Amino acid sequence: MENAIKQPGVKALILCNPSNPCGKVFNKKELNIIAELSIRYDIFVITDEVYEHIVYEPNEHIYMAALTGMRERTITCSSLSKTYSITGWRLGYVIADKKITERVKKVHDFLTVGAAAPLMEAAVTGLEFEDDYYLELQEHYTHMRNLFLNGLDNIGLVTTKPQGTYYVLMDISEFGYSDDLEFCEELIKKVGVAAVPGSGFFKEDVRNLVRFHFAKKDETLIAALDRLSDINKKMKI
């Protein structure tokens, strides 16, 4: 990471925490390494923290801007879509030093002008929820994660355990496909479950991962697991 940061012209590092697609939640030690490097090489850290409230114990979300010396060099981006289950409303926000937000406002004005006023009014209701809302949210997502991951484990599928977010990556190496998109198309046709090809998330040529999304009702997750139970028979080539 240091080699990349010290290249001439580098102005900022983008950090997605908790991370989509792998569900990684960066711990304090890891965040401190990034913070120290950003101070040493005088760069900004632009964070995407839209899954800040979907984190599984014992992991916890630590805000980059809260670390010593990072408040003035962190541009914190977040969204209301995951926390309040309003995906598609496209309501988000940036928290940064005043001189940075002045620039952000200019870009925002030219790109979108503003979010739809009725949606902003409605979102205020969510922003006023008490702490118990966030605890229930965490419990609910923990339940869905455990249900789906235990099911995938019982089938014998190779997955990474997400520490946050509502995604799980599955390693498809054992199925014999060289292309993850083709795997996903076949999975829909032969098994009846949709996944997202992992290659879309990587700069490198990674084609052995697909992403499932488990923010679903119990009966939907159980039906998906039921369909996936004979995946080996249907998908191996």
120-156 per-residue burial string, b: 16 or more CB within 10 A, e: under 16: eeebeeeeeeeeeeeeebbeebeebbeebbebbeeee
- Side-chain half-sphere exposure of 10, counting CA atoms within 13 A: 21
- Name the amino acid, one letter, at 198: G
CB of 170 closer than 8 Å to CB of 210:
yes
User: Rule CB under 6 A: is residue 47 a binding residue for ligand PLP?
Assistant: no
**Residue 81 vs 229, nearer CB to ligand PLP:** 81
- Nearest distance, CB of residue 174 and ligand PLP, angstroms: 27
CB of 180 closer than 8 Å to CB of 198:
yes
- What is the C-alpha separation between 148 and 225, in angstroms, rounded? 7
| Region of 86-94, 125-133, 178-186, 225-233 interacting with ligand PLP (CB under 6 A) | 86-94
User: Rule CB under 6 A: is residue 92 a binding residue for ligand PLP?
Assistant: yes
Taking each helix axis from N to C end, the angle separating 131-155 and 218-228, rounded to the nearest 10 degrees, works out to 20
- Nearest distance, CB of residue 199 and ligand PLP, angstroms: 16
- What is the C-alpha separation between 94 and 100, in angstroms, rounded? 10
Q: Give the phi and the psi of residue 146 in degrees, each rounded to 5.
A: -65, -45
User: Rule CB under 6 A: is residue 27 a binding residue for ligand PLP?
Assistant: no
- Nearest distance, CB of residue 76 and ligand PLP, angstroms: 12
Q: Which of 20, 38, 74, 83 binds ligand PLP (CB under 6 A)?
A: 20
User: Rule CB under 6 A: is residue 83 a binding residue for ligand PLP?
Assistant: no
Indicate the SS3 state at residue 96.
coil
Q: Which of 22, 31, 50, 225 binds ligand PLP (CB under 6 A)?
A: 50
- Nearest distance, CB of residue 121 and ligand PLP, angstroms: 17
User: Rule CB under 6 A: is residue 81 a binding residue for ligand PLP?
Assistant: yes
First to last CA, the chain: 38
| Region of 58-66, 84-92, 182-190, 210-218 interacting with ligand PLP (CB under 6 A) | 84-92
- What is the C-alpha separation between 237 and 234, in angstroms, rounded? 9
**Residue 15 vs 35, nearer CB to ligand PLP:** 15
**Residue 39 vs 91, nearer CB to ligand PLP:** 91
| Region of 79-87, 134-142, 155-163, 209-217 interacting with ligand PLP (CB under 6 A) | 79-87
**Residue 129 vs 192, nearer CB to ligand PLP:** 129
User: Rule CB under 6 A: is residue 79 a binding residue for ligand PLP?
Assistant: yes
Contact residues toward ligand PLP (CB under 6 A) are: 16, 20, 48, 50, 79, 81, 87, 90, 92
